[in-house]
Structure 1
Amino acid sequence: MKNFAMIGAAGYIAPRHMQAIKTTNNQLVAALDPNDSVGIIDSYFPDADFFTEFERFDRHIDKLRRANHSAKVDYVSICSPNYLHDSHMRFALRSDADAICEKPLVLNPWNIDGLLEVEKDTGRKVNTILQLRVHPSIVKLREKVMSENRDTKHDVDLTYITSRGHWYLQSWKGDAKKSGGIATNIGVHFYDMLHFIFGELQENVVHHSDETSAAGYLEYEKARVRWFLSVDFKYVPQQVKEQGQRTYRSITVDGDEIEFSGGFTDLHNLSYEEILCGRGFGLEENRVAIETVSHIRNATPLGAKGTYHPFLKV
């Protein structure tokens, strides 16, 4: 049994990490969040110590490290706002623990270089949740693409709309300096997935970008990709709205829909199993996706020109 600490215990994604820790038969011993709305912990680890101040949390983790080997924290799960991930991973490594960090790993590619140095200094490791890399449908598609012998590239459309209410833009997620913007906050794992399946990125064009939606074109070794992301309910297709749903997720490859909507709730469990077996995705596996979203964040949108996603017409 390994000892875990968690930073960002009141966050949206934190319960999936708690469940993964419990499912893999490990123990959450300490948690931190400035927000004390963390009653969910009782469903998983009611005996976990909880802190609302980083300084007290830091002192507690250090005391556990110095007490004895069985009490020290082995992993720190990081579910904090995106702009804090870099600092919290450094804290984990310097506390003689490995880090398990939610997406996006960092906001800028050069942050990866700094973390590589801290890994080298401490001998500890950063692991990240790239859950689509372990999704059975995505793994199957990657194997199919890798086995092909063809000169032409696949034509791919990626559409992801996950509706959010008015609260979204009032939270840290609506602040591009803290979240990285819409493409980083809700899209980084999709860009990683595209790189994972279709190879090295060759071209990155941005057609549209605002607070609630973004669209562009990516070209990889084995695919041409039109993509559209949004948190605005108005973009959800009418037939989906009529079913009472607020989320629309679609990937088509050469016109054929790839079904990967199911199984998302278990992917954190599987990711933790891989990490605990020493097969977690590290810093370098994140580099292409972080470079992709960094470029999207800083590029000047071209508008509806060239090869653009059909939703852009809306």
Structure 2
Amino acid sequence: MTSKFELTALDALKDKVADLPQVDNAAADAARARQDSLTKPPGALGRLEELAIFMAGWQAVETPVINKAQALIFAGNHGVCAQGVNPFPQEVTVQMVANFEAGGAAINQLCQANGADLSVIALNLDNPTRDFTVHPAMSAEETLSAINAGAAAVDLDADILILGEMGIGNSTVAAALAHAVFGGTALDWVGRGTGSDDEGVKRKVDVVERAVALHGDANGLEILSTLGGREQAAICGAVLAARAARIPVLLDGYICTAATAPLFAVDPSLLDHCLVGHRSVEPGHQKLLFAMNKTPVLDFDMRLGEGSGAALALGILRSALACHNGMATFAEAGVSDA
């Protein structure tokens, strides 16, 4: 069953926040008590314990499970590529989508290895967004359409949602979104992406500076419309639909995390049900994680995108729940906890 969550206007989200599900503190407390009763010293499993408690709070049960993991990869193309910010042509987006569909990418292998059902959703690749150094990247209607496409792709039977992206030029988009929401300088947020040289990085910094200055009056989801792309908007829609259905989310790296920055700008609590799968080597990601108060599950020097870090983190999450649900308590094992 797919989500029926729908956003009708960009400024309507702030009125929905209070009606969205919150973490179930009673279930989280019960899971914490269970962790303290298992045959180990309290806290000995470190972040695995925290992850199990997180899942319990959002699934609203003491012993959460992952029977079905859904992975969604959204793909889009960007008008800002006209500024020469990308070392690869935009045709690569279409080619990589075909590779995903044929099962030949890293994300295919990681989803198979860690037990996730993968869907790839291409969003009007023949019609890139507008160049945001000149115009808003998308109209409000285009933004809403992409948000709602992302929301509609969420499987309500999923126990965890993995999100990733593909789109040539979208590391520049990520830097612009992060800069617009969290400030600093453009240089704070710009990295090499898919392989920009020093001159390419300078070009990206200039583009991000100009774009954020041009659209400086935007706020909330208007930032997504002026500086984002269709895949970023779809990620936001999927995050919102998952929240409405109490489905925890594993975000991927820098680009995927930055895609949710406009949601954070509306209300930071909109990301309470989201984990970040890994810390990207893109320099802006560390700053973004600090600004969002998010601790990544993994730090493996990855920068591939396409949901790869989040899919890898799914294995850690499954391990956390295996320990949480399968270990014996001191009483069950007949072991003294004194």
TM-score relative to the length of structure 2:
0.25
Q: Which has the higher contact order (CA 8 A, sep 6+)?
A: 2
Whichever structure has more strand as a proportion of its residues is 1
TM-score relative to the length of structure 1:
0.27
